[in-house]
Amino acid sequence: MDWSEERSMIWNLFKIEGMKLKRITWITPILSGLLLLIVTIGEWYLFFREGEGGVYASFNALYLFVSISFLLTGNLLITMVVGTEHESKGWKQFLAAPLSKSHLYMVKLAWVVALILVQGFVFIIGWALIWHVYTTDPLPFLFLLKQVFYCIIATLPVLIIQFYLSIAFENQAIPITIGVLGAIASLFLARSQVNWLHYLPWSYPGLVTPFLPNHIHWLQISLGISTILLLFTNWLFYNKNWN
Amino acid sequence: MMNNIIETHDLCCQFNRIKSVDKINIQIPEGAIYGFLGPNGAGKTTTLKMLLGLLNPSSGSIKIFGEKMPTNRISILREIGSLIESPSFYGHLSGYKNLKIFASIYGLPNSAIEDVLNIVELTPHANRPVKHYSFGMKQRLGIAIALIHKPKLLILDEPTNGLDPAGIQQIRDLIKRLPTLYNTTVLISSHLLSEVEQIATHVGIIHGGKMLFQDAFDVLRKQQTSYLIIDLEDPSKAYQSMQKTGWDITVNHTAISIRLDTPGQKTKIFECLKNFNIINVKEKHRSLEDIFLDWTGVKKEV
């Protein structure tokens, strides 16, 4: 099979996976984006507004919530995307179809990432609109983009772990619990004084903020670990027995 | 010579040191309706899942359409339709959209969806969400998904489970039509001999993970026999006398047992035994069910 044929198969599979998504799966990232916006602005308005940073202190408020928001939304989206397949007993039907197991795995994960990106875009658009309505100060748009999208990239290792756990456990309560605990832990791990804890994937979303000088280092680590985890979990998925 | 669509060689599957399937050699000729028969837990579903690449065999090999599974998994699966255990469907979508998903996988036009809806008689319900379907309708949708690409091989795992008699009849008629309709070879598993007996041309009987019998159904039917059990004063003398004249006969200390191939043989038997004192005569029929129960060791009341 040549690359163009394979590409068209992957695109076809991506469209098919899109057909399966429930309406709530589309609504969730939009609501999560809006919720992040409300919480961040609320936090700034209540606790940062009077400080030295003025309107720019809103980025400090954003830093507090951005990682937990993407991790929790990712957790929810994974449960929805994978749960649909468990509920419908669709795995065995789909894997008995002439589809590449690796493609299926990647495409499902790609949908989760795409939906988190929707949350990111909703947040950025909302932030930019509110900024322009509220103030005439220039918006550091590049900083905003980096804060949001670096954080999304840094959540990938956790998302991949979470994604495979959701596939492995039919009972979604287990991966959801792990996901929620991980998201809460992420709030503390990045700020921990114990250096080795920073190497846990749950720390990365808090370490890739442009506020920190070495954030690119953590971004590179996130991408490297994501690649390793992706290859490993894809291999596990390929060899999994569907009892 | 007829080609085998499926051939397995010493196929094994083991979970936690327990052998679910033990050196199974399946041979299914092209165009056959192969009944894969066995009690619950015999290893039928495990075998079918290995054929579809859903489970990795512990040892042994599988060839489907002459190609190795799972080495050529995708090209093999292109020609197979399957329904394993309960039907899979996305409850929030309509029957039509569920079929659309599978039509897209095979690159089929919408007319293929309409055709298969007609075959399983679901056209009037096509636009209803599947979560509102009855069990029988879900089962038929599962079969429609399996049939949408007109597969060369259809694998159905207990497709009539949980259906009412009318539903069973409908599915049975459909399966019987498939070899002529699409030139499809069918592999259907069941724990009900009566079900397999009505549709299968070939049969494989599995129990405890081992294949006990495999051949054309007619070969199994030939094992269905009647015996005349005759209590005699001197059964060993009668045995010697009857054996000389070529009867298929066994003896114990009170009676002889003679295999009956035709009902007309009874007169000849009594003619041969006219010089012996007959105490009692019983006729015993060994049905297919008796054979199946004997082989699988499952008690009748179960």
**Mean residue pLDDT across chain A:** 93
Determine whether the interchain pair A19/B91 forms a contact, defined as Cβ–Cβ distance below 8 Å. no
Please give the share of chain A, as a percent, with pLDDT higher than 70: 100
User: Which stretches of chain A are DSSP H helices?
Assistant: 3-20, 23-43, 58-87, 90-95, 101-134, 141-168, 173-189, 204-207, 215-239
pLDDT > 60? residue A236: yes
Q: Residue A217 is part of which domain span?
A: 3-16+23-239
Q: Which residues of B touch A12 (CB under 8 A)?
A: 104-105, 107
Mean pLDDT, residues A131-135 taken together: 92
Q: Does A5 touch chain B (CB under 8 A)?
A: no
Distance CA B133, CA A220 (A): 50
pLDDT at B130: 95
Give the count of beta carbons closer than 10 Å to the beta carbon of residue A243.
11
Kindly write down the DSSP assignment for every residue of B173-216, as one continuous string. HHHHHHHHHH--EEEEEES-HHHHHHH-SEEEEEETTEEEEEEE
Instruction: Give the helix ranges, DSSP H, for B57-164.
Output: 73-77, 95-106, 110-119, 135-147
Phi, psi (deg, nearest 5) at residue A58: -60, -25
Task: Give me the number of domains chain A comprises.
Answer: 1
Identity at A179, one-letter amino acid code:
G
Mean pLDDT of A133-137: 91
A170 phi, psi to nearest 5 deg: -70, -35
* B97/A93 Cβ within 8 A: no
What count of CB pairs under 8 Å joins A to B?
A: 73
**For position B2, what pLDDT does the model report?**
55
The CA-atom distances, in angstroms, between A184 and each of A66, A175, A178, A205, B127 are 12, 14, 10, 12, 43
Does residue A13 have a pLDDT over 90? yes
- pLDDT (tens, 9 = 90+) of chain B, 302 residues, equals 458 999 999 999 998 888 999 999 999 999 999 999 998 889 999 999 999 999 999 999 999 999 999 999 999 999 999 999 888 899 999 999 999 999 999 999 999 999 999 988 899 999 999 999 998 899 999 999 999 999 999 999 998 887 888 888 888 888 888 888 888 999 999 988 888 888 999 999 999 999 999 999 888 888 778 888 999 988 999 898 888 888 888 898 889 998 888 777 888 888 888 888 899 998 888 777 788 887 777 654 33
Instruction: Give the pLDDT score at B300.
Output: 46
Closest CB to B84 among A16, A96, A241: A96
Chain A positions touching B102 (Cβ under 8 A) are: 97
B111 in contact with A, Cβ within 8 Å: no
DSSP A42-59: HHIIIIITTSTTGGGGHH
CB contact under 8 A, B53 and A95: yes
Model pLDDT for residues A35-52, shown as the tens digit of each residue:
999 999 999 989 888 878
Backbone angles phi and psi of B109, in degrees to 5: -75, 170
C-alpha separations of B217 from A4, A198, A232, B7, B204 in Å = 48, 67, 47, 18, 9
pLDDT of residue B298: 61
Q: Is some CB atom of chain A closer than 8 A to the CB atom of B176?
A: no
Please give the pLDDT value at position B29: 95
**ipTM score:** 0.87
**Angstroms from A125 CA to nearest CA on chain B:** 31
Looking at residue B81, what is its pLDDT? 95
Best probe of the B interface among A88, A94, A103, A104, by most B CBs < 10 A, is: A88
Three-state SS for B5? strand
Residue A130 pLDDT more than 60? Answer: yes
A93 touches chain B (CB under 8 A): yes
